[in-house]
């Protein structure tokens, strides 16, 4: 009985510690985003946040949150902004197309609206895989896009989980606005990263079974 109690308390402690680290990472994400006046701070801060979440998920030992966050923020500042705004441009194009076609009458525009909505969803899903790929593997921009696109359709359940978890977390944050400062980005980042890492592990395992090398290249961290 005592051993069970100790095990339960140990589990509660580990969960509480992880929640605190996730909250701490979110605070860093907000601070460093504003440090770059959002325009040039949000993208590298987001890349750094995903890098920290990756470490928290993959490693049992203590992760130096601040030093890792600061290191990745500096290293990825230029590339994260470049890649981030290219992705944002693609999303903006599909969003503007959707708004335009919805404002016009006629069956052709209804079809184009549906098509634009589908492309918008796919582009959002690409981003959800792109960032974990970016902090996990060292690839070119086009390879990140191609791989993310393939993973969307080869692992549809994981893709749906990413979308649904985003909706659920958004709803919770609306109900508990006081938690926004602590979990507005990092909690969803944690779930997306954990889901993506499961997908990467499955793909790598399939590759090993087939006797081939990793199709993704070298780890970036």
pLDDT tens digits, one per residue of 90-116: 999 999 999 999 999 999 999 999 999
Arithmetic mean of pLDDT, 193-199: 97
Which two structure tokens, joined as six digits, stand for 134? Answer: 């970016």
Read off the pLDDT of each residue in 163-169 and give the average, rounded to a whole number.
Answer: 98
* Per-residue CA distances from 110 to 94, 118, 120, 130 (Å): 15, 12, 15, 30
Q: How many CA atoms lie within 13 A of 147 on its CB side?
A: 24
Question: Does residue 219 carry a pLDDT above 80?
Answer: no
pLDDT at 218: 47
Stated pTM of the model: 0.91
Band of the pLDDT at 29, cuts 50, 70, 90?
A: very high
**pLDDT above 90: residue 216:** no
Going by C-beta distance under 8 Å and a sequence separation of 6 or more, which residues neighbour residue 172? 179
pLDDT band at 7 (very low <50, low <70, confident <90, very high): low
Position 60 pLDDT exceeds 90: no
97, exposed or middle or buried, with CB in 10 Å at 0-12, 13-18, 19+? middle
What DSSP element (H or E) covers 34? helix 2-35
3-class state of residue 187 by DSSP: helix
How many CB atoms are located within 10 Å of the residue 198 CB?
14
Rounded distance between C-alpha atoms, residue 99 and residue 117, angstroms: 10
Residues 43 and 185: their CA atoms lie apart, in Å, by 12
Confirm if 148 and 130 have CB atoms less than 8 A apart.
yes
């Amino acid at each position: 009985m005592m051993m069970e109690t100790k095990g339960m308390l140990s589990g509660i402690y580990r969960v509480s510690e992880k929640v605190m680290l996730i909250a701490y990472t979110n605070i860093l994400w907000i601070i460093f985003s504003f440090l770059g006046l959002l325009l040039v701070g949000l993208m590298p801060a987001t890349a750094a946040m995903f890098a920290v979440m990756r470490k928290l998920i993959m490693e049992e030992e203590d992760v130096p949150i601040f030093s890792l966050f600061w290191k990745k923020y500096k290293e990825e500042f230029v590339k994260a902004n470049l890649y981030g705004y290219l992705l944002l441009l693609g999303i903006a194009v599909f969003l503007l197309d959707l708004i335009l076609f919805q404002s016009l009458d006629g069956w052709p525009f209804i079809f184009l609206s549906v098509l634009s909505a589908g492309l918008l969803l796919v582009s959002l899903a690409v981003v959800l895989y792109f960032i974990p790929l970016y902090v996990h593997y060292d690839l070119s921009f086009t390879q990140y896009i191609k791989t993310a696109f393939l993973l969307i359709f080869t692992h549809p359940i994981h893709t749906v989980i990413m979308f649904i978890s985003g909706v659920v977390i958004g709803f919770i944050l609306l109900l508990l606005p006081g938690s926004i400062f602590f979990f507005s980005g990092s909690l969803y980042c944690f779930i997306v990263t954990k889901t993506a890492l499961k997908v990467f592990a499955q793909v790598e395992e399939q590759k090993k079974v087939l006797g081939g090398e990793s199709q993704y290249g070298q780890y970036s961290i």
